[in-house]
Amino acid sequence: MHQVVVIGGGVMGCMTALELLQRGFEVCLMERRQTGREASWAGGGIVTPLYPWRYSEPVSALADWSQRRYPELCRELLDHTGIDPQFSPCGLLWLDHAEESLALQWAAEQGRPIVPVDSDFIYQQVPELAPGFAGGMWQRGLANVRNPRLMAALKARLGQFPSFTLLENAPATGLQHTGGRVTGVIHAAGTVPADAAVLAAGAWSGEWLGALGMTLEVAPVKGQMLIYKTAPGWLPSIVLHAGRYAIPRRDGHVLIGSTLEYAGFDTTTTQEALDSLRSSAHALLPALAQMQPVGQWAGLRPGSAEGVPFIGAVPGLDGLWVNAGHFRNGLVLAPASCRLLADLMTGAAPALSATPYGLEGRSAGA
């Protein structure tokens, strides 16, 4: 295996391509529109599941590995490209959460530094919070990255490899295969020869395999977000309450998210979501009521059962691999997911157990 085509230019496709390039492969990344402009651009960039204690061990294992990798990865990207993904270990406050005892028990078992805090702590940490919060939970050092900058850095880094080819505005329309093995990926302008293909098309992955007569239980789940512009440092930490979050950026932008909508592939923004997100923003940070959002957008998450992604070979067609179905945690889980897939594709000792993510028994092949 020397030439690999990666279908999809989001965080999964880009990090998979980088892993393979670093192992000496020739890689063609095929993106239906512009690299990094779908869910990977639209998300919040928090480097953790919002409520990590709610997830199964397979998700926790990927998240834990990825959290350890992110600081080094962002430094490497900055060193190579000059683009800073802005990894910011600002900490996270969960406010008045009904699952506190469960969360703290999980944190103790997993060795995570989540601690209970009182009202004095939370108002000292985030002075702009609305009054009335009696306490919460705090994880010092929990980070966010500025995901559009992360994607820009990944794209720039990939372009530095002579063995890398990028095809944008080139939706993959099918596979060329002979004798039950992938030999190329078809797009509107022709066919790219390939010894293997990786499907990392996010919310479109299930539909894409469906067109080939295969089944992958991945479907789009819409999320809408708002962004405000405040002074740098106005919001020192991430805050999360009642399923909604506020995320600070270094330049003073504050993201408010997000909705959870089953609306097919529709990415239009709505007044209903605007009103709901603004209400959450005002209830959490009252000063935002005196400001207008400077942006609203929507993205499509690749929904899957319990948020456990599909990572591995597709049964029934040699040379076809999948890295998709990460639901709300694509950016969170990407470093581990892509390292694992590259390990599986090359026969290397896997970074973590691959068993929970395989397609056998979870999704039919050809």
Q: Which candidate, 328, 329, 324, places its Cα nearest to that of 312?
A: 324
Report the length, in residues, of the chain.
366
Q: Count CB neighbours of 191 within 10 A.
A: 15
Q: Tokens representing 331?
A: 């950016």
Helices (H), 255-325: 271-284
**Kind of pairing between the strands at 295-303 and 219-229:** antiparallel
How far is Cα of residue 363 from the mean position of the Cα atoms in its chain?
A: 22
Residues of the chain with pLDDT under 50: 364-366
Q: Domains along the chain?
A: 3-63+148-216+305-357 (3.50.50.60), 92-140 (no CATH), 219-303 (3.30.9.10)
Which phi and psi angles does 175 have, rounded to 5°?
A: -115, 145
Q: What one-character-per-residue DSSP string does 154-171 give?
A: HHHHHTT-TTEEEE-S--
Residue 257 gets which letter from DSSP? E
The answer for 251, left when phi > 0, alpha when psi is -120 to 50, beta otherwise, is: alpha
Q: What residues contact 179, with CB distance under 8 A and at least 6 apart?
A: none
Say what the pLDDT of residue 360 is: 86
Integer angstrom CA distances of residue 355 from 56, 216, 221, 340: 14, 17, 26, 11
Say what the pLDDT of residue 62 is: 98
Q: Tokens representing 237?
A: 């930490």
Q: For 243-279, how does the pLDDT look when each residue is reduced to its tens digit (9 = 90+)?
A: 999 999 999 999 999 999 999 999 999 999 999 999 9
Residue 277 gets which letter from DSSP? H
Say what the pLDDT of residue 366 is: 39
> d(Cα 311, Cα 325) in Å, to the nearest integer?
9
- Contact status, residue 153 vs residue 85, Cβ threshold 8 Å: yes
> d(Cα 32, Cα 167) in Å, to the nearest integer?
8
What is the residue whose two structure tokens read 């005002």? 282
Q: In what order do the strands lie in the sheet with 26-30?
A: 164-167, 26-30, 3-7, 196-199, 320-324, 310-313
- Contact status, residue 91 vs residue 238, Cβ threshold 8 Å: yes
- Contact status, residue 33 vs residue 351, Cβ threshold 8 Å: no
- Contact status, residue 60 vs residue 353, Cβ threshold 8 Å: no
Burial class of 207 by CB neighbour count within 10 A (0 to 12, 13 to 18, 19+): middle
Q: What one-character-per-residue DSSP string does 186-221 give?
A: EETTEEEE-SEEEE--GGGHHHHHHTTT-----EEE
Say what the pLDDT of residue 363 is: 63
- Contact status, residue 83 vs residue 157, Cβ threshold 8 Å: no
- Contact status, residue 52 vs residue 167, Cβ threshold 8 Å: no
Q: What residues contact 98, with CB distance under 8 A and at least 6 apart?
A: none
Integer angstrom CA distances of residue 352 from 192, 211, 236, 304, 309: 32, 31, 34, 20, 14
How far is Cα of residue 244 from the mean position of the Cα atoms in its chain?
A: 17
- What's the start-to-end Cα distance of the chain, in Å? 22
